[in-house]
Structure 1
Amino acid sequence: MPLELTAEATSRTVKTKNWEIHYHEAGQGHPLVMLHGSGPGATGWSNFGPNLRSLANDFRVIAVDMPGWGASDAVIPDERDHVEAALQLLDALKIDKAAFVGNSMGGFNSVSFAVKHPDRISHLITMGAGAPGVRPSIFAPGNGLSEGLKILLRGYQNPSMETIRDVVDIMTYDSAFVTDELISERLDATLGRPDHLANFLAGGFEKISRAVITADDLVGIRVPTLVFHGRDDRVVHYENSLKLVSLVPDSRLVLMNRCGHWLQLEYADEFNRLVGGFVSAR
């Protein structure tokens, strides 16, 4: 049975070289570092709470608030470097090598981490991640923001119950996930850190990451890689994951119908089972 763990009971903070980073931790065993997406109110817990509870039965699970989100330090767009933040987190926690699990922006940053620090990552797992440095797109928008990213941006520009409801709705396929409780939680997290809000709006999605990755970099990734995507993702098109799995040599793809951008939440039980088996077997 999943461990009965709460956000408060798992809350931790560590001071790294450049930042104070907040994270949630539970369990023992091989480390799984979970990196959240870029939406308003995103945190390690809001993106991965049900996954942490389950996977902590077998692994040391660390769900991070990246600098600029959640309870971690604020950071201006030009100084945002989540790959470096992840590296400093591993050093501060004395972790030699970890599996990285990233959703959306967190998936992009996990891919970037695998390219830049191959000796510090054991497994690469992404959900709804973009394919950095791989253009042009055939099915996804060739230029500009997707439908979902436009709605995420409105959630930052005018955070309210209405706009955050639209954010949660675009993230999911099943409207049962669009609860007032979840919307209020995400809205409170957004409004509770006006510094994060101002910094995101100053940079937008154009400065979401400092990493520059090419197709050749992806071909050079050697860690076992598991790529998840929702067939009905309206934020990041599943074409991105097709590109990833076509380039990363030791990779496989799980594409789920009736699933949006939050695959790890919409199909939490299946996701947890597949991730646990993948990391244990490899």
Structure 2
Amino acid sequence: MASLSESETSAFVDTPSGKIHYHAAGEGTPVVMLHGSGPGATGWSNFNPNMSVLSESFRVIAPDMPGWGKSDPVTYEDRDHVKAAVDFLDALGIEKAAFIGNSMGGATTLKVAARHADRVTHVVTMGSGAPGPRVNSPGGGPTEGLKVLHRGYREPSVETMKALCEIMAYDPAFATDELAEQRYRVLAENPVHVTNFAAGFGRPRRGEATLEDIASIKQPSMIIHGRDDRVVHFEAGLRLVSTISNSRLVLLNRCGHWAQLEHADEFNRLVRDFITNTPGHAGN
């Protein structure tokens, strides 16, 4: 298996939601991979260890969502990642795809699956939230991880990116200086993204599915969550699997918010088997 490079997989496409940068490789069933909201997040930073493996079986596509990476900026008021995801499919001529989403990307995946059921065959989320009261996790205010994430936008620096990486992962080995510098470089190159995202602090979160949306999802769904996630407590995974009728939960010990990175080999096996051997569903 040859490793893919960032440059060889890079492309842009114009959509009604703006110009979207993305990485793509492989052929066959389209699999769209949506990154989280952390400062410096991109399709490549969230999924590059997965693309090389999964592209042997699928057409994998990892966009920078509007407001992140090399894609066009978008204000808090105009940010609509559900519309952007559908526009992205249309621009690439993709009728329907399996969707994989980490954190914010998982929230988008769930809402696209509910509101545009005919475009989504399979749902995979990692570290995604779920509406409803918190029972086993702290109930007041942002989690420890979200506080660090916000600080990364308010005080962008290599040091705050290092702190972000340390809290996102269970294993400190994943919080490398290289990753911290990469994420800071993305921020420094796109300061308007930082300003636009920070403008939403203290305001209602955008793009999240309602409980009714989630209960309506009929696509086969795999909910993956880290037992040691300090950004979104694994209780959210329990709520999702109890609400989505055709779902299963994979709870990984010694795993933080980045299951696809910390447990890349297992994640790749799970996703490949799930999409290949579970009949997809796309319809209203």
Q: Same fold (TM over 0.5)?
A: yes
Deviation at 1:215, TM superposition (A): 2.0
Give the unaligned 5+ runs of structure 1.
Answer: none
Separation of aligned partners in 2, 1:130 and 1:149: 12
SS at match of 1:204: coil
Query: Match for residue 81 of structure 2?
Result: 82
Higher helix share: 1
Q: Deviations over 1:189-217 (max 9, x none)?
A: 11110110110111137454234x33222
Q: Does 1:218 align with 2:214?
A: yes
Question: In structure 2, do the counterparts of structure 1 residues 196 and 205 end up closer, same or farther at CA, with 3 Å as the change threshold?
Answer: farther
Separation of aligned partners in 1, 2:202 and 2:254: 27
Identity of aligned residues (%): 55
Query: Match for residue 62 of structure 2?
Result: 63
SS at match of 1:233: coil
Deviation at 1:160, TM superposition (A): 1.3
Question: Could you tell me whether the CA contact under 8 Å between 1:165 and 1:183 is conserved in 2?
Answer: yes
SS at match of 1:77: coil
Query: Match for residue 107 of structure 1?
Result: 106
Separation of aligned partners in 2, 1:5 and 1:206: 39
Question: In structure 2, do the counterparts of structure 1 residues 102 and 21 end up closer, same or farther at CA, with 3 Å as the change threshold?
Answer: same
Separation of aligned partners in 2, 1:205 and 1:251: 32
Question: Could you tell me whether the CA contact under 8 Å between 2:80 and 2:206 is conserved in 1?
Answer: yes
**Greater mean alpha carbon deviation, residues 38-47 or residues 173-182:** 173-182
SS at match of 2:149: helix
Give the unaligned 5+ runs of structure 2.
Answer: 279-284
Deviation at 1:141, TM superposition (A): 2.7
- Equivalent residue in structure 2 for 1:166, among 149, 163, 178: 163
Q: Does 1:281 align with 2:277?
A: yes
SS at match of 1:237: coil
**Matched AA of 1:157:** R
Query: Match for residue 123 of structure 1?
Result: 122
Separation of aligned partners in 2, 1:258 and 1:62: 28
Query: Match for residue 133 of structure 2?
Result: 136
Name the TM-score, length of structure 2 as normaliser: 0.96
SS at match of 1:102: strand
Separation of aligned partners in 2, 1:249 and 1:50: 30
Query: Match for residue 232 of structure 2?
Result: 236
Name the TM-score, length of structure 1 as normaliser: 0.96
Separation of aligned partners in 1, 2:161 and 2:16: 34
Count, aligned residues: 278
Question: Could you tell me whether the CA contact under 8 Å between 2:17 and 2:66 is conserved in 1?
Answer: no
